Structure 1
């Protein structure tokens, strides 16, 4: 049994995670613990407020009692809004509090791109343009070339959660770019778990979505490799060669 603990802000697309647990079809659990938010608006100040140490620490004890082996802050904006260095500090604090290897969805995107051997991406974001630009800046700080960034102007997480499959496909297609090797959909409020392969077939390239990479990141930190093509190319990559090193994220055990 492998248990990946997820901290998730508010209530929007959390039903993606039990769906993925079933799709993994293995002895994997991804229990989710909610953190409080004051509002679900995607503004820089609101996103940073969602990711403060006190808010994140509130869900950690339950997560530890659930037997989590790794921890992921499943909130893209609540990490990248702090910038690259600030997001590292946030994750380090979370790891110290939990005594577990920890990461966030934002770092998961960067690590997943390493897994795919890709460096040029298009960002197809639900967010307003200024918030999408913050994510692009975060990726650039991580050595990723962002060839196109599109924000769809969806301000509230609840509105993103209401987007159906066809709407998500429209968002992905509108944000794609011919030079992009991979398309990124960075919003944990967006339902995508059931149809990542459909998105990849539509665009003809790998697609990384926030909830997908959050679960993959937790498994990576727990050193658990899973073959699950129903969750897209990321879950269907080859095993790393013997002796290859992988970035572990931030780990603090006390």
Structure 2
């Protein structure tokens, strides 16, 4: 049994984490705290603010105080990590790891590691973000040798609005993204504000290839870093071993 601490900005799809925890048959714990979000906006200045070192350090200290000893920590925000650029995102996690004292990552790096685990070299991205922010995610992926076939950006400004999208809308969005990129190995949905845990297997089935979502890869990364990387049904292709 492992305990992973998640730092989650604001309020939108944080209930994906207790939903996922119920599927973890080894009783691993997914402990979550909400980090400061002065402004809910998918805009560069707002995203840089929520991903600041002091904001994340405060979150790491609080989740450790509330959950007890941790085996790993994840900054569960894609845009609040890749917006710093590849080098800045790496520095962000290095600073957070010095505070947490345990293996630490972010959702942006979780996407890269998940693609490597599955042998995914080319992707289609379905982003809820405005085009400029979505483009920064594409840059992050290509820096890490992941080819982006197509990018679809829904231009939703707030995480709160993203969190209201119903499951069928998520399924339809992923299917449309996949249709536009028949040569891509997988579809990526890179927003932790998007509810996806309840439809992970359905997403893979609808699209016919792996669909990686932000909360899914965050949870997988945390468990992997904690040494609890085992086969877990109900959480999509990424969690199935062999």
Query: Match for residue 194 of structure 2?
Result: 190
TM-score, length basis structure 1: 0.92
Q: Distance in 1 between matches of 2:153 and 2:172?
A: 12
What's the offset of the Cα at 1:63?
Answer: 2.2
- What is the count of residue pairs matched by the alignment? 238
Q: What is the correspondence of 1:19-58 to structure 2 with a 5 Å cutoff?
A: 19-58=19-58
Mapped contact 2:77–2:192 kept (Cα < 8 A) = yes
The question of whether the paired residues in 1 share the 8 Å contact of 2:42 and 2:133 is answered with yes
Structure 1 residue 226: Cα displacement: 2.1
SS of residue in 2 equivalent to 1:215:
helix
Find the aligned partners of 2:135 and 2:241 in 1 and give their Cα distance: 29
Alignment deviations for residues 123-146 of structure 1 (CA, whole Å, 9 cap, x no partner): 011111111111010000111111
CA-to-aligned-CA distance 1:223-246 (integer Å, 9 cap, x gap) = 2122123100000032xxxxxxxx
Separation in 2 of the partners of 1:17 and 1:126?
20
What is the aligned partner in structure 2 of residue 73 from structure 1? 75
- Report the CA distance between 1:14 and its aligned residue: 0.4
Q: TM-score, normalised by structure 2?
A: 0.96
1:179 counterpart residue number: 183
- 1:24 is paired with a residue of what secondary structure? coil
Q: 1:100-249 maps to which residues of 2 (within 5 A)?
A: 100-176=102-178, 177-238=181-242
Q: CA RMSD in A?
A: 0.9
Contact residue 10 and residue 35 of structure 2 kept, 8 A:
yes
Question: Which runs of no fewer than 5 residues in structure 1 stay unpaired?
Answer: 239-254
Deviation at 1:62, TM superposition (A): 2.4
Q: Does the CA contact (< 8 Å) of 2:230 and 2:241 recur in 1?
A: no
Q: How much does 1:174 deviate?
A: 2.4
SS of corresponding position for 2:197: coil
Provide the rounded CA distance (Å) in 2 between the counterparts of 1:150 and 1:121.
Answer: 12
**Unpaired segments of 5 or more residues in structure 2?**
none
- SS of the residue corresponding to residue 5 of structure 2 reads strand
Q: Deviations over 1:9-35 (max 9, x none)?
A: 011100000000001222200000110
Aligned equivalents of 2:45, 2:61: Cα separation in 1: 26
| Cross-structure match for 1:8 | 8
